[in-house]
Amino acid sequence: MANSARSTAPRLGLWLAVGLILLLSLAPILWQLLTSLKTTADITAIPNVYFPRQLTLEHYIDIFQRQPFLRYMLNSAFVAVVSTLLCLLIGTPAAYVLARLKLPGEQIILTGVLIVTLFPYILLFLGLLELVRNFGLANNYLALIVPYTAINLPLTILVMRSFFQQLPHELEDAARVEGYSTAQMLLQILLPLTTPALVTTGILAFIAAWNEFIFALTFITRDSMKTVPVAVAQLSGTAVFEVPYGALAAATVVGTLPLVLLVLLFQRRIVQGLTAGAVKG
């Protein structure tokens, strides 16, 4: 029988593999967490001290007091939230149109949307740099919000489109019979239904915006306006006599915390969104 064939040996192998996945996925993050709680003496001890002999919060206090880390977090949150909302606002109607209405050239647009997801940001960088310079957007969050909205649009359109395609047509037909306009129908009938899909794409867009590096590195030169990834990356070389390993670890932990929470809460949705965006597109 199939079940008896699955005897203990393969089962053991499975558990080993599961253990390995857990270990490899968590080890670097946990190591950073441990580092952030160690005293500087423990951090730079040779041979390495694995478990802190004494727990300390000094590095966390350090990044919030000596560095404006709260500020960086708020900057990141602001840019990510605004660009995510904009992206949903612009992307959802577009996705609806591409799912339901028969427009000439629709296939070309869809192919184009798919193709641009493959563009590395470095290819956009020079052109955007010129735009930022010419419009005087240096040290203006628009210089980040506009590109972030755009880079999240393709995924939003693809995910939302595949969602709309799964909705039964009858709803809209009924709405039309009732005399709703397209916009009214979108807002009053479809929007409530789409909330779960919006949350899914919103999370993906938020993660991408929170993590973006190259535009944030270049278009914001004022320290008080920097986002978390750039602020942390630039923290490493700025101590006088040593690299502030403890502070770096604490900053990494704090900077990743919002995303860890998102993953813990919305793992299923993220997976759905990713597969809908990539596979069905």
Tell me if 208 sits within 8 A of 151, measured CB to CB. yes
With CB under 8 A as the contact rule, which of the stretches 39-47, 53-61, 162-170, 193-201 interacts with another protein? 39-47
The radius of gyration of the chain from alpha carbons, rounded to an integer in Å, stands at: 24
Single residue of 9, 108, 177, 183 touching another protein by CB under 8 A: 183
Buried b (16+ CB within 10 A) or exposed e, 182-196: beebbeebbeeebee
- CA–CA separation, 38 and 127 (whole Å): 45
Alpha carbon separation from 38 to 57, 178, 235 (Å, rounded): 8, 66, 19
Is residue 97 part of the contact set for another protein (CB under 8 A)?
Answer: yes
Q: Which stretch binds another protein (CB under 8 A): 21-29, 52-60, 162-170, 188-196?
A: 21-29
User: Rounded to an integer, what distance in angstroms lies between the CA atom of residue 274 and that of residue 159?
Assistant: 8
x/- mask, another protein, residues 56-75, rule CB under 8 A, reads: --------------------
Name which of residues 110 to 129 contact another protein (CB under 8 A): 112-113, 115-129
Residue corresponding to tokens 């730079």: 44
Query: Which one of residues 107, 165, 166, 181 is an interface residue with another protein (CB under 8 A)?
Result: 181
CB of 192 to another protein, least distance (A): 18
Smallest gap from Cβ 25 to another protein, in A, equals 5
- Over the window 235 to 254, marking each residue x when it contacts another protein by CB under 8 A and - when it does not, the resulting string is -xxxxx----x--xx-xx--
State in angstroms the smallest separation of the CB of 128 from another protein.
6
Q: Does 28 interact with another protein (rule: CB under 8 A)?
A: yes
Determine the Cα–Cα distance for residues 21 and 24; give it in Å rounded to an integer. Answer: 5
Stretch that binds another protein, among 52-60, 91-99, 166-174, 191-199 (CB under 8 A): 91-99
Of residues 202-231, which lie at the interface with another protein (CB under 8 A)?
207, 210-211, 213-214, 217-219, 221-223, 228-230
**Least distance from another protein to the Cβ atom of residue 158, Å:** 12
CA atoms of 59 and 231, how far apart (whole Å): 16
| Structure-token pair, residue 127 | 């052109």
Q: Quickly count: other Cβ atoms within 10 Å of residue 179's Cβ.
A: 8
